[in-house]
Amino acid sequence: MKPILYESLQDEGLESRVADRYRADVDALARLGFRRLGLYGETLLPAGVLLLFPVVIAMLLKKEVLAWRGFLRITFAYPLMVHLEEQAYALPLGMGVKFYTRLMDETLVITANFPSEEIANMMTKVYKSSRKSGIETAWQGHREHVDSFIQGGKAVDGWVSMEKFVTLSSREDAEMI
């Protein structure tokens, strides 16, 4: 069993807390053309809570929004944003923001504006870069990275949805766990 469940959330109480916590990042992303797609969550199952306990503590220190979902089940909730012109997602987190773009051949391009594990896996087609920067600078860097793939003959997937993002996020974590 996987230690983390990736999911779309429907919870008004969490929605309100997430809106308050991430208001500044959501506003900054809106100025760049992003709009809200929905409420995204990562639920740590009992094995995940135990396995990732130091990560859980770090997330709590960054004031991540969480909900207890039973014995040793913790859900962290985030606002998921989408840029319809660029077909990209933005995920504000306690440490910063991550941008995601999926290409038609299943290539996944991720950019974080905070220090994070970098990935360049040609087998799984997952490419993640990270550098401490502002949201606008990271977005520009993400677009340039995606453009480099487009210039190489790839095309951006023209359809965004919460379900697709859940799959993308789990692919990213599979590279790191």
C-alpha–C-alpha distance, residues 8 and 18, integer Å:
14
Global confidence as pTM: 0.91
Name the helix (H) or strand (E) containing 93: none
In the predicted structure, residue 108 carries a pLDDT above the cut 90:
yes
Sequence-distant (6+) residues with CB within 8 A of 14 are 39, 41, 65, 67, 75, 77
139-161 tens-digit pLDDT: 999 999 999 999 999 999 989 99
57-86 tens-digit pLDDT: 877 788 899 888 777 778 899 999 999 999
More confident residue, 33 or 62: 33
Confidence of residue 97 (pLDDT cuts 50, 70, 90): very high
In three state form, how does the secondary structure of 26-86 look?
Answer: HHHHHHCCCEEEEEEEEEECHHHHHHCHHHHHHHHHCCCEEEECCCCCEEEEEEEEEECCC
Domain ranges across the chain: 4-176
Supply the pLDDT for residue 15: 94
Supply the pLDDT for residue 149: 97
